[in-house]
Amino acid sequence: MSRDATQAPVLQVRGLDLSYDTPAGALQALRQVNLTIGKGEIVGLVGESGSGKSTLMQAILGLLPGAAKVQGGQILFQGQDLAGLSAPQMRGLLGDRISVVFQDPMTALNPVLTIGRQMIDIQHRSRISRAEKRARAIGMLERVRIPDPESRFNRYPHEFSGGMRQRVAIAMALMARPALLVADEPTTALDATLEIATIDLLRELQAEIGCAILFITHHLGVVAELCDRIDIMYAGEIVESGATAPVFRDPRHPYTQLLFACDPAQISRPMRHLPSIGGGLPDLTHLPPGCIFAPRCPRADATCRATRPADHQAGPSDLVRCHYPLAPRLEITA
């Protein structure tokens, strides 16, 4: 499914700047982040740990910790700026128009309340009887293939396996048929076979409900398998964005190229050492003056180190934040 230019996007993040107050000064966690998710589209957001994926997710959901401050930009959800909403207004959207599935199914559900109680509680907006809420919840459990949902309904989370708990979390998130589902590494804590089953289930339910999905992961294979579009994040910036298959074939940002080269799934022959990108993430309290990736970039020159790059359209990618995006693919020997 490609992006339909005539339809308004479900979510549009524009020029988002966000910083954390730390004892060492302001940590600029997100800088000029642009992200667009079309109606019914599945967008994969990839990046290494500390790249700002979780901060971006928390900003979209309005669940930022107290030390985080949005400094500028907009988070437009169906045309409404979420950054400007009050807490009660945001609560009105959460779990209804915007839902989320979190990473760790073992801790994401309340351990002392039954699954059923939690599934009834989240329908707090519906003006239907408790019996109807119960019936809806059981129906939803059936849709995510929980065996014997009637009796499982009164069970506690610790009586479910990890894969089943994640399916329960998906059932809860999709019960209100949201316009946007944020999935924060929903399969990272699961083993490989469960991962495939969970992704198949998500895809199936997505097709039925027609919601857009922001799929946060560091597993490139999952993005290639599931997502219409891919956004690559590095150190608080989205460095490349485009339709999944072309970007995988012909990445235009040096970081993307290196990231793909380091994916173990891409390596055909056994190696003694897995490839990695030299250097580490920059200190976000003292940003370099130029491109954020310049200190680790094999192609960086004086321009890269002195000035920040703008977003360009290059090759198959809609957005490449690089001074030299049109350069042909490099032979990487990382």
Partner 1 sequence: MLGYLARRIVLAVAVILTVIAALFAMMRAIPGDPVRTALGPRASEAMVETYRIKMGLDQPVIVQIWRFFSTILQGDLGSDAISGVPVARIIMAQLPDTLYLVLGAMVVAVVPGVWLGVLSATKRGSLFDRVTSVLSVSVMAVPSFVIAIYLLLIFAIQLSWFPAIGAGEGLADRLHRLVLPSVALGLAWIGYIARILRASMLEVMGENHIRTARAFGLSERKIMYDYVLRIAILPTITVLGMGIGQMLSGAVFAEIVFGRPGIGKLVYDSIAARNYPIVTGTLLVTTGFFVLVNLIADLLIAFLDPRVRNVVSR
Q: Do 68 and 58 contact (CB within 8 A), yes or no?
A: yes
Residue 20 Cβ vs partner 1, minimum distance, rounded to whole Å: 17
Q: Taking CB under 8 A as the rule, does residue 94 contact partner 1?
A: yes
Q: Taking CB under 8 A as the rule, does residue 75 contact partner 1?
A: no
Q: Taking CB under 8 A as the rule, does residue 161 contact partner 1?
A: no
Q: Specify the pairing of strand 212-217 against strand 180-184.
A: parallel
Residue 179 Cβ vs partner 1, minimum distance, rounded to whole Å: 14
Per CB under 8 A, the list member of 41, 96, 237, 311 interacting with partner 1 is: 96
Count of chain residues binding partner 1 (CB under 8 A): 29
Stretch of 94-102, 136-144, 303-311, 324-332 contacting partner 1, by CB under 8 A: 94-102
Per CB under 8 A, the list member of 3, 14, 91, 134 interacting with partner 1 is: 91
Q: For 169, phi and psi rounded to 5 degrees?
A: -60, -40
Per CB under 8 A, the list member of 95, 186, 242, 254 interacting with partner 1 is: 95
Q: Taking CB under 8 A as the rule, does residue 21 contact partner 1?
A: no
Residue 114 or residue 285: which is nearer to partner 1 going by CB?
114
Residues 125-154 that bind partner 1 (CB under 8 A): 125
Q: Taking CB under 8 A as the rule, does residue 158 contact partner 1?
A: yes
Residue 113 or residue 209: which is nearer to partner 1 going by CB?
113
Residues 235-264 that bind partner 1 (CB under 8 A): none
Q: Taking CB under 8 A as the rule, does residue 108 contact partner 1?
A: yes
Place of tokens 């979510």: 11
Q: For 141, phi and psi rounded to 5 degrees?
A: -60, -35
Q: Specify the pairing of strand 317-321 against strand 311-314.
A: antiparallel
Residue 14 or residue 136: which is nearer to partner 1 going by CB?
136
Q: Taking CB under 8 A as the rule, does residue 328 contact partner 1?
A: no
Q: For 85, phi and psi rounded to 5 degrees?
A: -80, 150
Stretch of 36-44, 87-95, 190-198, 250-258 contacting partner 1, by CB under 8 A: 87-95
Residue 333 Cβ vs partner 1, minimum distance, rounded to whole Å: 41
Q: Taking CB under 8 A as the rule, does residue 334 contact partner 1?
A: no
Residue 121 Cβ vs partner 1, minimum distance, rounded to whole Å: 6
Stretch of 78-86, 121-129, 135-143, 215-223 contacting partner 1, by CB under 8 A: 121-129
Q: Which residues bind to partner 1, rule: CB under 8 A?
A: 61, 63, 90-96, 99-100, 102, 104, 107-113, 121-122, 124-125, 156, 158-159, 169, 172
